[in-house]
């Protein structure tokens, strides 16, 4: 599904677009299978130590990350919104499972966001597009400062390496 399907607001949305040399079915599998996702989802040296996926609109998407020193970062209980096999995955931190609005979190500078992940086959692999939607320019800016593009880009490189070689390094 192409990025052009959506209108981008440059003040509120962050976009990542990459070409990767692996088939989109493998990218989809990496995003939707907990045992695989846990291997690539978090840029090293942090690790994803917990992952729950209930792959349906309204289903839970939950991850917990951990630093080498054992610091845990609970990414919260997100909710899947759209699940179109091998094409599009949409989930949000603004809601928990079964579409319950998430409690406001004052100490989270990036606020809630919705991630729209789109996959398209190309001659050599997959065009991988992500839109991260925010409610305010301040939240989008904070997410960018925290390293949205670097973080998601590094995670994607780890995923591609995992698919190609069975290892993320």
112 in contact with a copy of itself (CB under 8 A): yes
107 in contact with a copy of itself (CB under 8 A): no
Residues 122-151, interacting with a copy of itself (CB under 8 A)? 133-136
| Count of residues touching a copy of itself (by CB under 8 A) | 29
165 in contact with a copy of itself (CB under 8 A): no
99 in contact with a copy of itself (CB under 8 A): yes
Name the region of 58 (left: φ>0; alpha: ψ -120 to 50; beta: rest): left
Least separation in angstroms between CB 134 and a copy of itself: 7
51 in contact with a copy of itself (CB under 8 A): no
Pick the stretch among 19-27, 40-48, 91-99, 148-156 that binds a copy of itself (CB under 8 A).
Answer: 91-99
Site residues (CB under 8 A) for a copy of itself?
Answer: 6-7, 12, 57-58, 81-82, 90, 92-96, 98-104, 111-114, 116, 133-136
């Amino acid at each position: 599904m192409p990025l052009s399907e959506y209108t981008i607001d440059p003040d509120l949305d962050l976009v990542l677009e990459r070409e990767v040399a692996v088939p989109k079915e493998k990218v989809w599998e990496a995003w939707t299978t907990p045992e695989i996702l846990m291997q690539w989802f978090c840029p090293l040296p942090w690790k994803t130590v917990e992952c729950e996926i209930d792959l349906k609109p309204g289903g839970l998407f939950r991850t917990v990350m951990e630093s080498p020193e054992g610091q845990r970062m609970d990414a919260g209980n997100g909710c899947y919104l759209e699940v179109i096999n091998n094409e599009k995955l949409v989930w949000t931190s603004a809601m928990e499972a079964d579409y319950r609005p998430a409690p406001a979190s004052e100490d989270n500078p990036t606020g809630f966001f919705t991630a729209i992940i789109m996959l398209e086959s190309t001659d050599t692999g997959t065009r991988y597009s992500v839109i991260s939607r925010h409610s305010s320019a301040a939240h989008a800016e904070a997410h960018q400062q925290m390293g949205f593009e670097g973080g998601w880009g590094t995670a994607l490189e780890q995923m591609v390496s995992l698919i190609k070689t069975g290892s993320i390094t």
